[in-house]
Structure 1
Amino acid sequence: MGDTVVDERSQRAISSRNKENYLKAKAAFNKKDMALCMSYYAPDHHMRSRDVGPGRQHIERFLSSMHDTWPDLAIVVEHAVAEDDWVVGRCTTTATHAKTVMGVAPTNRQVRATFWDMHRFDADGRIVETWNLMDSLAIMQQLGLVPTQPK
């Protein structure tokens, strides 16, 4: 029984570390500190929700493009759950529509959307795999590309 308690404590500590690293990566992204943000990703990181090869450069390019498209983009982690090597987050993003997006000229209106992401961490606490799911419909509705449903 003693080994089981130690194993459970170790696993909780690993899960806690991974969740903390997830939150630190999001904070670094919000500060536009891409070097610090990328330090939480393994060199052989793989984005699973996009058809790209392995390598941290793909997630860096993706995240940098978010800042290019939405210069004041901010992520708020609403909920994060960690278990074993996994961390799942539900986040809210807000940004000003200041550049052409999806063919829509800037409106300078605030756009808000939710996304979910799931990350698998390695033994060193770095993210090795990522899946993202963005509420693109909400973005398209706010840009006027898709009508909103009456309330």
Structure 2
Amino acid sequence: MNSSSNINKAERNKANYLAAKKAFNEKDIPACLGFYTTDHIVKSMPAEKGRQVIQHFFEQLHNTWGDLKINVEHVVAEDNWVMGRSIATAIHSQTVMGVAPSNKQITASFWDLHLFNEEGLIAETWNLIDNAAIMKQIGLL
């Protein structure tokens, strides 16, 4: 495969990554899931294979943080890999980590790395959120 094909693949994967984030922010979980393979796996935690795992994760996030928005600050794509650095914001309106709602805005950095398949769908995901920042803002630290 020549380098221009790799560039085109990287640009396609980057566009799909950004479109998935847009659908997530719009709470359009079915559209968001359309960017994931049916046997997708989250590699940053023990998880079973299957799109239903990421679906449950997304639904849980939206149920816990009803107004959650992920603003992609930086994204890098190379071949089948896409890495993003984002800022997640939400109002602490539900009990989180045993802490009653404060109705304060919570902000945390979020990083994710995705391996795309040849069709441009996300096959594997690693993610990391600054949980210490969340814990500090809700009063646990």
Query: Which category of TM-score, normalised to the shorter sequence, fits these structures?
Result: over 0.9
- Residue deviations 1:30-55, cap 9 Å, x none? 00000000000000101001211110
Aligned to 1:134: 129
- Report runs of 4+ in structure 1 exceeding 6 Å deviation: none
TM-score if structure 2 supplies the norm length?
A: 0.99
Aligned to 1:36: 31
CA distance in 2, matches of 1:78, 1:138: 18
Q: Give the Å deviation of 1:101.
A: 0.3
Amino acid at match of 1:28: A
1:103 to 98, 103, 122: 98
- Structure 2 gaps of 5+ residues are none
TM-score if structure 1 supplies the norm length?
A: 0.92
Aligned to 2:77: 82
Cα RMSD (Å): 0.8
| 2:79 paired with 1:112 | no
Q: Which has the larger radius of gyration?
A: 1
- Structure 1 gaps of 5+ residues are 1-5, 147-151
| 2:16 paired with 1:21 | yes
- Residue deviations 1:96-116, cap 9 Å, x none? 000000010000000000010
Aligned to 2:89: 94
Amino acid at match of 1:78: E
CA distance in 1, matches of 2:113, 2:47: 17
Amino acid at match of 1:47: V
Number of residue equivalences: 141
CA distance in 2, matches of 1:31, 1:38: 13
2:139 to 117, 136, 144: 144
